[in-house]
């Protein structure tokens, strides 16, 4: 029921909380991973099952295993095309795949975002949700990047909140870094956003903002952000390299 109506996290939580896990529950858990596009997790679970159980692998288990391999290969091909700057070929392959899962949708959305095609990424993200496929935390790393490319600052913030409120996903440093990069033109907002972050170390977020200042040649903001980073990480040379690049971009 969880596999068909909820996220794979709920499936695994139910599976882990069982006092005893028999052949049927192991099989269902593997099939759920495969159906949701988590091919690698399905294969790891199969390996664990074989180590812990004396029950032989049957045709049902093998079917789940093949589905897991198919999911990994398809997404690997999409990712390969995107990294080779053949975004059109990636989309052609994506369109030929039958039965898209969360991983294939995410691979294509992230590919568009990585190449600065924000509008295409956001349109595909909407189609993903319309198809009833729930995004995961990896999907929400690429979405703010897509919003940045098309200047949708408020929409990027909305997606960040939706990740927590609508899907119950945990936010990581990478998600915060994506929003910081989105807010770079409004440095005060970016600063406030970083200050509100609950992470013990925020150096990555400040470094993301400093890098973005270089793209926009914001020398004034770059100076005080570099001072913050120098206090947080006095022996980190990248801070001085980034600041030097900002000065160079501004012909200073």
Are the beta carbons of 213 and 191 closer than 8 angstroms?
no
Q: What is the pTM of this model?
A: 0.60
Angle at 204 between CA 233 and CA 175, to 5 degrees: 165
C-alpha–C-alpha distance, residues 120 and 108, integer Å:
10
Is pLDDT at 179 greater than 90 in this prediction? no
Sequence-ordered list of residues with C-beta below 8 angstroms from that of 148, at least 6 positions apart, any chain: 118, 156, 181, 182
Domain ranges (residues) in the chain: 1-86, 100-171, 185-252
Q: Dihedral of CA 83/42/56/5: which sign? A: negative
Local confidence band at 66 (pLDDT 50, 70, 90 cut-offs): low
What tens digit of pLDDT does each residue of 225-248 get? Answer: 999 999 999 888 889 998 998 898
Is pLDDT at 183 greater than 90 in this prediction? no
C-alpha distances (whole Å) from 233 to each of 173, 202, 218, 236, 240 are 17, 11, 22, 5, 11
Local confidence band at 141 (pLDDT 50, 70, 90 cut-offs): confident
Most confident of 6-15, 35-44, 77-86, 93-102: 77-86
């Amino acid at each position: 029921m969880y596999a068909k109506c909820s996220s794979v996290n709920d499936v695994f939580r139910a599976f882990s909380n069982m006092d005893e896990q028999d052949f049927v529950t192991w099989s269902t858990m593997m099939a759920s991973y495969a159906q949701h596009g988590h091919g690698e997790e399905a294969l790891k679970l199969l390996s664990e099952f074989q180590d812990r159980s004396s029950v032989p692998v049957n045709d049902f288990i093998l079917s789940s295993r093949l589905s897991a391999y198919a999911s990994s290969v398809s997404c690997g091909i999409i990712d390969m095309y995107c990294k080779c700057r053949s975004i059109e070929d990636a989309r052609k392959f994506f369109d030929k795949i039958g039965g898209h899962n969360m991983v294939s949708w995410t691979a294509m959305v992230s590919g568009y975002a990585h190449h600065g095609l924000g509008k295409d990424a956001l349109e595909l993200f909407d189609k993903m949700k319309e198809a009833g496929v729930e995004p995961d935390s990896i999907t929400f790393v690429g979405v703010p990047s897509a919003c940045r490319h098309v200047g949708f600052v408020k929409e990027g913030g909305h997606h960040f909140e939706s990740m927590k409120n609508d899907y119950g996903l945990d936010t990581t440093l990478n998600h915060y870094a994506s929003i910081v990069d989105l807010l770079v033109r409004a440095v005060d907002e970016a600063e406030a956003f970083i200050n509100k972050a609950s992470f013990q170390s925020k150096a990555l977020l400040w470094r993301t903002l400093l890098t973005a200042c270089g793209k926009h040649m914001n020398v004034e903001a770059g100076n005080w952000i570099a001072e913050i980073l120098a206090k947080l990480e006095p022996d980190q040379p990248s801070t001085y390299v980034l600041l030097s690049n900002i000065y160079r971009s501004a012909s200073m």
